[in-house]
Structure 1
Amino acid sequence: MLKREVETAYDDPPAAETVNPQGASPYMLLCEHASNYIPTRYSGLGLDAKELQRHIAWDIGVAPIARELSRRLDAPLVLSGYSRLLIDCNRPTGVASSIPEISETTAIPGNQTLSHEERAYREAAFYWPFQREVGRILDQRQAKGTPTIVFGVHSFTPVFKGFVRPWHAGILFRKAERLGHALVDALQEPGLTVAANEPYQIRDESDYTVPVHGEARGLDAVLIEIRQDLIGDRDGQMAWVERLVPALQTVAAGALARA
């Protein structure tokens, strides 16, 4: 065990926060980018407070949505307690985007030329506790034979490197094609553009939740990406909860009926 694992301040959050672990819903909710918290000892990784409010540090608006979905669906939820800039809980370790030196177009001074020790410490302190907690709940559900769909809650920027994204939301999936397309269809309404596998695609080299917590266990797994300007306040967040709850319930009922 790395000695630095215990070097956390008394007021630092846990690496993983679990809500409703015994929830009976078929959905297992993950919020890998819930927080922009960076311990004081990291000095904001060299970024000012305004930069740490941007999407580069977390997924804006998603934690309140995930918590309300957990409550309304009676679903277990695990939220990451630290900024994705320290280490990204939806990336495989060792890839460039795991501990980014540049996020979008912004250089991250505190992530430049890190030692092997520091990388290993961040994995041990902030990454693996989250993954182990998700795995623990999934192990319990699978041991009980509880039907389970892995569902990650994310947001995306309206503009990325100059490209204006035309979608309001996207459903990301790979092997769970039937469920993913069913959820896209269930979320369609006038004036709303919801697309399959936009603005990103699931890949082994850039994703962890779907390939590992979902597909490697033989579980259906999807992520939702909601445009962050739509969920920057409580009203917008709850509007998306009102859309998602019936859509998720309908899709889960259909998936369980086919099982």
Structure 2
Amino acid sequence: MTSEPHRPLITAEDIPPVAIVNPGGTSSFLLIGDHAGNAVPSALASLGITSDELSRHIGWDIGIADTGTMLAEQLDAVFIRQAYSRLVVDCNRSPAQPDAIAEVSDTTVIPGNLALSDDAKAERFAAIHEPYHAAIAREVARRAAAGRTTILIALHSFTPLMRALATSGDGTTATLRPWHIGILHDGGDTTFAAALLNVLTADPDLVVGDNEPYRMDLIDYTIPRHAYPDRLPYAEIEIRQDLIADHEGCRHWADRIAHALVSACAS
């Protein structure tokens, strides 16, 4: 009996795993979006969940594709973004981390991620995760060869409410997240992140998180991989999702962040 030939994870009917906006950008800022897409390869049949679920925060960082594109235009910066959903493979996780391909996300079971073989997991990393990180590495190397400065800016968004299992184990609780924007940082050269925090916290209209609503730690993968070794200045920016849920909000925050980035660079 002859087995059917293996179908590649990404075929001609699927979109490429990486989108590069404004590839000729001249700015020192290099914008990246680990979770800026929510596509699923056709071979995975939407992972067994609905399009509504994929459109939620579990599927991607809401608002970041549009905000990042507008920011790239504002700054004349390159924006490298992941086109596929974080549920297919999370590009801000290492292959060794168990949540890189989540079986459950915010109480939603992901049928297409259950009981995957090692080969199936490796194929997702090879088809999506590696090309994304290779694109970032190539751009950083190209700039270095040309004697250009790179300030790496990772763009993410976060939910206004953080749900968690109740202490009794019955149902969930929700915690309000008051921050409008957060700046994440940890190892490497944190000088730029500190300067950006100073600029943002000087605005009395903003509630700014310093390593809030998340801490940058060993769970993060992209910034440590691409910024730490050569001590590139960097910042990971988290924007609250309800603020960038529509075109007007994305435009407002792209303008606001562009001004803050330029001011921090000047300082």
The residue number in structure 1 matching 2:190 is 177
Q: Deviations over 1:143-164 (max 9, x none)?
A: 2221111101110001111221
AA in 2 matched with 1:217: D
In structure 2, stretches of 5+ residues that fail to align are 164-173
Distance 1:221 1:4 in 2: 41
Say yes or no: does 1:157 pair with 2:159: yes
The residue number in structure 2 matching 1:241 is 254
AA in 2 matched with 1:171: I
- Secondary structure in 2 aligned to 1:45? helix
- Secondary structure in 1 aligned to 2:198? helix
AA in 2 matched with 1:194: V
Q: Output aligned runs, 1:97-112, within 5 Å.
A: 97-112=99-114
Q: Deviations over 1:168-214 (max 9, x none)?
A: 1101111343321221222242332011111111122x111210111
The partner residue of 2:62 within 50, 60, 63 is 60
AA in 1 matched with 2:126: A
The residue number in structure 1 matching 2:169 is none
Distance 1:55 1:7 in 2: 24
CA drift at 1:50: 1.4
Distance 2:195 2:236 in 1: 13
AA in 1 matched with 2:186: R
Distance 1:235 1:85 in 2: 27
Distance 1:5 1:67 in 2: 33
Distance 1:113 1:203 in 2: 28
The partner residue of 2:145 within 136, 140, 143 is 143
Distance 1:4 1:13 in 2: 19
Say yes or no: does 1:217 pair with 2:216: no
Distance 1:4 1:74 in 2: 42
Q: Is the 8 A contact 2:35 2:156 kept in 1?
A: yes
Distance 2:111 2:76 in 1: 41
Identity, in percent, stands at 40
> Does 148-157 or 18-27 show the bigger shift?
18-27
Distance 1:5 1:24 in 2: 40
Alpha carbons of structure 1 residues 7 and 49: separation in structure 2 relative to 1, 3 Å = closer
TM-score under structure 1 length normalisation: 0.92
CA drift at 1:102: 1.6
> Does 106-115 or 232-241 show the bigger shift?
106-115
CA drift at 1:4: 5.9
Q: Is the 8 A contact 1:187 1:243 kept in 2?
A: no
Distance 1:170 1:159 in 2: 15
Distance 1:201 1:153 in 2: 15
Distance 2:14 2:142 in 1: 28
Say yes or no: does 1:168 pair with 2:180: yes
- Secondary structure in 1 aligned to 2:30? strand
CA drift at 1:10: 2.5
The residue number in structure 2 matching 1:230 is 243
In structure 1, stretches of 5+ residues that fail to align are 255-259
Q: Is the 8 A contact 2:33 2:80 kept in 1?
A: yes
Alpha carbons of structure 1 residues 248 and 227: separation in structure 2 relative to 1, 3 Å = same
Indicate the structure (1 or 2) with the bigger Cα radius of gyration.
Answer: 2
> Does 124-133 or 184-193 show the bigger shift?
184-193
Distance 1:76 1:5 in 2: 33
- Give the aligned CA root-mean-square deviation in angstroms: 1.6
- Secondary structure in 2 aligned to 1:30? strand
The partner residue of 2:216 within 193, 196, 202 is 202
Distance 1:69 1:91 in 2: 25
Q: Deviations over 1:100-146 (max 9, x none)?
A: 11212222111111101100100111110001011000011112221
CA drift at 1:34: 0.9
CA drift at 1:17: 1.1
